[in-house]
Structure 1
Amino acid sequence: CGKASVFVYIFIYYESASLPNVAPSGTASQSTTLSDSARAWNAIDGKSDPVYYHGSCTHTAHDQSDPWWRLLLPGIYRITAVSVTNRDELAERINNAEIRIGNSAENNGNNNPRCAVIPSIPAAQTATFQCGGMEGRFVNVYLPGAAKVLTLCEVEVYGGTVRQTPTGPVSMPCLAGTASQSTTLSDSARAWKAIDGNSDPVYYHGSCTHTAHDQSDPWWRLLLPGIYRITAVSVTNRDELAERINNAEIRIGNSAENNGNNNPRCAVIPSIPAAQTATFQCGGMEGRFVNVYLPGAAKVLTLCEVEVYGGTVRRL
């Protein structure tokens, strides 16, 4: 299902004497996904089965630099502890992973403050790390270094709400934001692939968009179900031919003229490294159209994920 992330908050204070596992209420994503049986949500499915081949663990692509797994909570939480269940074999792959918690989407949340470093977790075991009430809506497990693989068989996050009750959907339901694009190369490269919740940057895994070859001024557009104040847009680039994204523009506004590409510009994307995600701050620009527009002749536009952060101004 496609998701365009939109956050709306009323600020209150809440504290629970018995803090629950809040991970199942969030949305999980990861840097890459090895296969359909290893998706990010497996880590919050309530099953701590450590046998990878039973199909309840996550797994990033092989030999990736700085792989990560991220939980987006439906508000800002005070996190007291995070428990991680390791797989039954190749247990050393978790060594030196970092748990990071905070409210910044910069670098996919991996720049947030660090709760703990995981020195190791024995095979098929669970370890709990105390976070001392750190506040945030992002909880990341981040494994820095080259040629790494990150597998998690369960992640539990214990905490209580600090400043959140949603007045609208925290994560918009499937295709409530509707994606379209100027042309489509094939059925496996349709516009909605950029909001399917899967940031796998390997184009041939089938979770990226792709316009027709050698098109003039290709574009991708998200139509939101109302007018939103957009604070930031994150774009995940493909793993090869990364230079194709160079000089694309993010445009936000309410005009459908020229398919929305005449709306005000939030940012120009100078480049995004292969298989990486970059976040662009839009400063609260208002609109119901969010476009990625690539001006010029003989261009191809591919997006492996687009995330849009903001709050409702007026629903239509």
Structure 2
Amino acid sequence: MMMDLINTRTFAVILSCLLVGASAQTCDNGQLTSVTLCTHNVAAGKETTQHSTYNQDGKSENAVNGNTSGYWGTRSCTGTLWATNPWWSVDLGASYQVGSIHIYNRVEGTLGQRLLGAQVLAGTAADPLANEVIGTIGSEELLDNPIVFTLDKTVTHVSVRLPGNKKLLTLCGVEVYGVPL
């Protein structure tokens, strides 16, 4: 099938899809309209930081280690100290066109309620907390695991912050689905 390559960004997305064995959708005239099935978790194993660390089992890198279990004992969760406005962040190390961010919450008893009101930020600012808030976790979202935020944005950093006093931020997995630019 012949495609009209409009610009280098479109070419990069098509090439990325080919590298991961996916396909692109086209409209009737053969021009690229969207790319599907070619995103992968671009946060896996990337550099992470957080406001503070609760203990040795709550390290920031736990959120991107591939284990999304919602149980603290499986060492899949991060944990900050109780604080004002705690946060967690991942540096993707490059620019990606991101289509969705998946947040995995704790599933033990009512501990998942601690994530209520958390904000998910994404963008290209060097200070990850200066990026755009793309969503807030409300009571309805707490029922889902993972909690999924969809977007179509160029991203280098993804962060989660929990506004308020005496808050403890715990994440049991963060996946960022996108393609390199």
Q: Which protein is richer in helix relative to its size?
A: 2
Q: Does structure 1 retain, via aligned residues, the 8 Å contact 2:97–2:179?
A: yes
What's the CA shift for 1:229? 1.6
- Give the aligned partner of residue 175 of structure 2: 307
Alignment CA distance shift 1:308-1:171 (3 Å): closer
Distance 1:233 1:171 in 2: 9
Q: Matches of residues 1-316 of structure 1 in structure 2 within 5 Å?
A: 8-10=16-18, 74-76=20-22, 175=45, 177-213=46-82, 215-240=83-108, 241-257=111-127, 260-271=128-139, 272-273=141-142, 276-282=145-151, 284-313=152-181
1:171 to partner: Cα distance: 5.5
Q: Which has the higher contact order (CA 8 A, sep 6+)?
A: 2
**CA 1:289–1:197 in 2, change beyond 3 Å: closer, same or farther?**
same
RMSD of equivalent CA atoms: 2.7
1:227 aligned partner, one-letter code:
S
The alpha-carbon distance between structure 1 residues 285 and 262, as it changes in their structure 2 partners (threshold 3 A), is same
Q: Quote the offset at 1:76 in angstroms.
A: 3.9
Question: Shift of the alpha carbon at 1:174?
Answer: 6.3
Q: For 1:224, what is the secondary structure of its paired residue?
A: strand
Report the Cα offset of residue 173 of structure 1.
9.0
Secondary structure, in 3 states, of the residue corresponding to 2:48? strand
Q: Is the 8 A contact 2:44 2:64 kept in 1?
A: no
What's the % identity of the aligned pairs?
28
Answer yes or no: is the 8 Å Cα contact 2:86–2:168 preserved in 1.
yes
CA distance in 2 between counterparts of 1:268 and 1:310 reads 20
Distance 2:48 2:172 in 1: 13
1:222-273: per-residue Cα shift (whole Å, max 9, x none)?
101111121100011001311111111111112233xx11211111111444
Q: Which whole-Å CA distance do the structure 2 matches of 1:308 and 1:203 have between them? A: 21
Partner of 1:109: none
Structure 1 residues without counterparts, runs of 5 or longer: 1-6, 12-73, 78-135, 138-163
Structure 1 segments (4+ residues) deviating >6 Å: none
Q: 1-side partners of 2:65 and 2:77: how far apart?
A: 9
Deviations 1:181-238 (CA, angstroms, capped at 9, x unpaired):
111011111011011111111112221000002x111111010111112110001100
TM-score by length of 2: 0.74
Counting matched residue pairs gives 152
TM-score by length of structure 1 reads 0.44
Q: Which segments of 5 or more consecutive residues in structure 2 lack a partner in the other structure?
A: 1-14, 24-35
Contact 1:210 1:300 in 2 (8 A): yes
Aligned to 1:98: none
- SS of 2:73's equivalent in the other structure is helix
Instruction: Mark the CA change 1:194 to 1:300 in structure 2 (over 3 Å): closer, same or farther.
Output: same
State which structure, 1 or 2, has the greater radius of gyration over its C-alpha atoms: 1
